Structures are given as C-alpha cells and as structure tokens.
Structure 1
Amino acid sequence: MTPDPAAEVRDLAFSYRSHRILDGIDLALARGETAALLGPNGAGKTSLMRLLAGRLVPQAGRVRVAGGDPAREPGIRRAIAWVPQEIALYPRLTARENLEVFARLLGLPRAARAPAVARALARAGLEAAADRLVGVLSGGYQRRANIAASLLGEPALVLLDEPTQGVDQAARAAIHAVLERLPESGAAVLIATHDFAEAERLADRVLVLQDGALRLDGRLADLLAGLRAGPPEHEVALAEAAGPAAAAALRQAGFHPASPLTWRAGSTVAGGRDGAALLAHLRRHGVPVREIRVREPGLDGLYRDVTEAAPPDPVGADLEIPA
C-alpha cells in the first residue's frame, strides 16, 4: 500500500438488498495522484465513490480518508470533495452566492469564507462568471461551479463522477484544465468516467472495476508503453451504421465496434491483408467504409481486453443504489 495515503480501502465489501456490489476491494490513493476509475455500468463505481465519501457504510472491510473513517467521523467528511453527476447548486443564486452558502454549511469561520470562495472561484476559472445566476450559466460553467463548491474545504480527496457528462468540446476542455490542476494542492483525485480520452489526458493511474472487483490497477504510462510496444491497431470509419450483414463481415475480419460508426481491430485482420486489400475486401461484403486508419493502441483496447477476459458475473449488475 502507498505510504501515508490520502485514502485507503482494505478488503472492502458492500451489498444492497442481498446483491453483492463490491467484494474484496484493496486500494490506496496517494496524495497528489489522479486515478481514473473505469468500468461498465453496474460495475460498482459509484458505490465505491460513495463509500469513500462516507455516504455508504461497508458491510465488511474498512475505509480510511486522511486517517479517519468518513462514514462515522463528520470531521473527516469535511476533508472529502464529492462531485456527483447531478448539479448540486441553487439555480436562483449566483455562483459566488452558492459558494458562500456552501462555505457556511461546511462550517468555515466567518473570516475564512471570503478567501475560500475567492480561491475556489479562481481554481475553477469562474471569476468572470462569479456574479451570474447559476440557472442561466451553460452546462459547462455549472459543472465548474459544482467543482468549485467542492474545493472550499481544501479537501484531501476529490471524487468526481462523470465530470464532463453532457457538455460540448469547449466546455470539456475547460473542465479538464481545472481537473489537471487539482493534484497541485496535494489532494488525491479519483475520476469515474467512460471517456477513455479523458482518462488518458488526466490520470496518472488507471483502475478497472468490473462485477464488484478490481480487474486492473496500474500506472497509465506503464500500461500504454506496454501496449504500444506491440503492433498498431486498424480503425475503420463507416459512412453509416453497419447493418447486420456488414457487421458480420467486420466481425469476421477481426473488428469490434468502438462506436456506431467506428470499428477497431489489431494488426492481423482479414487474413493479413494490407490497407488497400482490406478496403476492397470490406466493400465487396457491403461494408460502408469511409476510411481505414492505422492508430497506436490506446486505453480503450486495454479496457476491452480486461473486461472481455473477465468471466461474466450478473450479480448486482445495473443495480441502482439510492444516494
């Protein structure tokens, strides 16, 4: 385990209505580290974050943040920033007024509130929008204000659940710029995301959770270096979504769907054909190919290998846990 970690769980287990959600989780998050938490829906990601935030109590094992138990020690919960997917702000107050309310709720002394609000606004890049009503701000600004509110107490642990969900590319880049700076204060940052590019940009470390168990835990640079020492991947971009016959032809050639219009495969595809021969082969079989690209393997390929190799376990899948 990491010496003096910001957060640590040991042999953690959690169930809901007799369904096992998490089982045997061991994890330590270092100060100044950003970890990406990946996994399919129902894997237990949000439950793990709620346990770390003290919102849930484990059935077995232990959770420690900044040396204390967040489920039983209110003082420890104040050292944790929990940023859920939902915007948890008052729409009829300005961004500044929202932060002032949360500073009072956090119990900050009167003299410390204004400086804390100013710091949080600056860290989230919100100075220009500080005095606008939250309800009229764009989704990206609202998410940044949500993050700013969580930073008022100078947390030891920052938990973010899908922090860029539903925002455009410009807002996403602005949020990423905020998140990249969070570890500078010495906080550990855990980001649950389905966005592999986001994980590659922000994370030092990657965790893959599936069926309530950690299937992968490693340094991102090491994982990508291992992948990229091997052959490149082929990526087929389609002009339209593949119908059943085209999808069958792509699968027979060794491809798998990465999105409705993108299919990927390793270097040895369609009997070892080169790009031109592969293009001709797919088009002969009715595949609406727009282009074929050769790309370095990325985190998405590693994730696919890990999750497809794990035996299926439907217990607790897609189970929603109340907040």
Structure 2
Amino acid sequence: MSAALEIVGVRRRYGATAALDGVDLAIEPGTVLALLGPNGAGKSTLVRLCAGLERPNEGTVRVLGEDPRRSLAARRRVGVAPQEIGIYPQLTVAQNLRAFGEAAGLRRRDARTRAEELLEPFALSALADRTAGRLSGGEQRRLHTAAALVHRPSVILLDEPTAGADPATREGILDAVLDLAADGAAVLYTTHYLPEVERLDARVAILEQGRVIVTGTVAGLIAAHGDAALVLRFTDGPVPVAASAFDGAAIQDNGTVTVRASEPAEALRALLNALGPDSSRLADVAIVQPSLEAAYLALTGRAATDSGVPDLVEVPA
C-alpha cells in the first residue's frame, strides 16, 4: 500500500538553527503515527510542512503523491489542527464547524450534517449556539480540533489536540481519531501523553533535535527498550557519583537520573545504601514499570511528560 503522507530527507532551518535535520517518515492510509519528542524537537515544524504552510529547505513532502504547497486539491485532503488555535471568534461553535466544512469543499447541507455529528464527541453540544470568542481555552481547543476533521480528510495532522482536555473529552477526541483511521485516513498525531499512543494503537516515531531516532510499534518498542526504570531527582548540586555510577544511568541537567532496572525495588534499596549521606538530597523517586514510558525513558533519558518525572512517590530522607 502506498503512503498517504510521505516525508523524505526533509530539512528545515531558521537562520542558523536546524529545526529538522533529515527526516524520513511515511504514513499509510488507515494508520496513526504518534510523533513524540520534547518541546523544540521539531514536531510542530513538521506538522506545518505537511500542511503546506511552510516549505522545506531540502527534501520532499507528498500528500497523496502531491506537493501540498503546490496543489490545492492536496491541501483540501488535509485536516490540520496546529498548536496555535485558529477559529472564528465572532461565529458560534456550530457556525464555525459549518464554515470550515464549506471552506474545505463540502456542500452546505453536508457541512451542516457533519458539524452536528462532531458536536457530541468533542463535548460541544451544549455550546453549539455560543460564540467561539466566549469559550474557555479548553473549549476553543476542542472546537479547533473538531474543525480540522469536519471534511473527513484523508490526511490528518493533530498537534497536541488533547492539551488541557478533561478525561471524558480526551476519550471523545481519541474515539473520533480512531473512527477516521478506520475509514482510511492517515493520522500524524503529536502528544506528550503516552497512554494516548497506546489507546490509538499507533506506530511511534521519536524526534530528537530534528532527527528521528527510532520508529516502531508500541509493542516492539516496549519489548526492545521497555525495562522497568527508576527516576530519581536530587536537590542542591550535581547528581551524586554513587547514583551516576549505576549501569545504564542517564543524567539530565535538572538533577534527575534514570536507572534501568529489571528489579526496581532491589535497585532502589541498593541505590539508597550506596548514596549514604547523599540520600538526604533525594527529593523524589518514580518507579516506571515496563511500558512505553519506560521505553521512552531508555531511549531519551527523560520522561515524555512536561514535568520530567512521572508518577512521583516521595521518599523520606
């Protein structure tokens, strides 16, 4: 099956800064690719390039075989919800959805029908007649994401679509994405929330400093890299030598050390004994069980969440 979205050798620079440095990715119809990486890795830049909003300095982007910068037909087959919210504040929620549908080429009746279909999964039914400018930030993001899907695009680009969403709304958004993929859409989905990736049964690509460092299925990444791990955060100065000397230890600049461990409880006891007086500098500890989070930690040395340390458990000094 040929790729609906194909990215080959893409580089994008802003002055002397390389946002993307030779990215190769392909997404087939009916599949979801979750793009993971820290802020500044180049995820949003890649979304803009795929939407035809920017041009790569090198390489090619093809949507259904065409350059989205040059083909209006290709751009109309794309649904994009970037991080920056873009809606019509003076229109109601329902009017926004209809307007986006018509702008993408739907007939008025079809746009109205499709707008009504999207209200419930995005928890917008009670807000249908409210002007978008009076919505909260989370409500605007839900509308923004729904508007990207109103014309049932063949290629969907979603950049952190559930940021700030409550659990029920998150489930509705994920269900809508799964429905579109089941209908044959190719989805590029960026997130910091790894349970979403597993819920979507997505393939994974991890982007670091503008380069894809690994791709694979969730199960494959967990099998190869998902050992349990300890994440320890220290205060007052550098990570103690006793912690950094453990096999497989990865150290971050913020005083955090990650240690892969098949038996995390035993490893924690050994670490505490080795630390001696330095154990008083241990602020918190997380035990990450075999999971996509553990694989991400092993591959990057950091957690996928913005906080940097997931599921913290305080350890008394």
Is the TM value for this pair above 0.5?
yes
Q: Could you report, residue by residue, the CA deviation over 1:223-270 in whole angstroms, capped at 9, with x for unpaired residues?
A: 112334xx532355xxxx742258437844646679989864212799
Paired letter, 2:138: G
8 Å CA contact 1:157, 1:187 repeated in 2 = yes
TM-score (ref. length: structure 1): 0.77
Change (3 A) 1:253 1:5: same
> How well do the aligned residues superpose, as a CA RMSD in angstroms?
3.5
SS at match of 2:61: strand
8 Å CA contact 2:258, 2:297 repeated in 1 = no
State the shift of 1:50 in Å: 1.1
State the shift of 1:177 in Å: 4.0
Q: Which of 240, 253, 261 in structure 2 is aligned with 1:248?
A: 240
Distance, in Å, in 1 between the alignment partners of 2:77 and 2:38 is 29
SS at match of 2:13: strand
Distance, in Å, in 2 between the alignment partners of 1:47 and 1:181 is 26
Q: Which has the higher contact order (CA 8 A, sep 6+)?
A: 1
**1:233 paired residue number:** 229
Answer yes or no: is 1:153 the counterpart of 2:144.
Answer: no
SS at match of 1:287: helix
Q: Which of 185, 188, 203 in structure 2 is aligned with 1:187?
A: 185
**2:261 paired residue number:** 267
Distance, in Å, in 1 between the alignment partners of 2:252 and 2:166 is 20
Change (3 A) 1:235 1:212: closer
Q: How many residues align?
A: 300
Paired letter, 2:291: G
Paired letter, 2:71: E
State the shift of 1:158 in Å: 0.9
Answer yes or no: is 1:48 the counterpart of 2:46.
Answer: yes
State the shift of 1:37 in Å: 0.9
**2:19 paired residue number:** 21
Distance, in Å, in 2 between the alignment partners of 1:167 and 1:261 is 30
State the shift of 1:211 in Å: 2.9
**1:317 paired residue number:** none
Q: Percent sequence identity over matched residues?
A: 36
Unaligned runs of 5+ in 2: 302-317
Q: Which of 130, 153, 163 in structure 2 is aligned with 1:132?
A: 130
Alignment of 1:85-234 (within 5 A): 85-169=83-167, 171-228=169-226, 231-234=227-230
Distance, in Å, in 2 between the alignment partners of 1:37 and 1:197 is 13
**1:65 paired residue number:** 63
Paired letter, 1:160: L
Unaligned runs of 5+ in 1: 309-323
Distance, in Å, in 1 between the alignment partners of 2:97 and 2:216 is 36
Change (3 A) 1:17 1:234: closer
TM-score (ref. length: structure 2): 0.78
Change (3 A) 1:133 1:22: same
Q: Could you report, residue by residue, the CA deviation over 1:24-45 in whole angstroms, capped at 9, with x for unpaired residues?
A: 3222101111111122333222
Distance, in Å, in 2 between the alignment partners of 1:213 and 1:292 is 30
Distance, in Å, in 2 between the alignment partners of 1:297 and 1:261 is 23
State the shift of 1:276 in Å: 4.6
8 Å CA contact 1:253, 1:269 repeated in 2 = no
Q: Which of 267, 278, 295 in structure 2 is aligned with 1:285?
A: 278
SS at match of 2:240: helix
State the shift of 1:202 in Å: 3.0
**1:306 paired residue number:** 299
Change (3 A) 1:259 1:24: closer
Paired letter, 2:96: N
8 Å CA contact 2:234, 2:284 repeated in 1 = no
Distance, in Å, in 1 between the alignment partners of 2:92 and 2:277 is 59
State the shift of 1:288 in Å: 6.3
SS at match of 1:58: coil
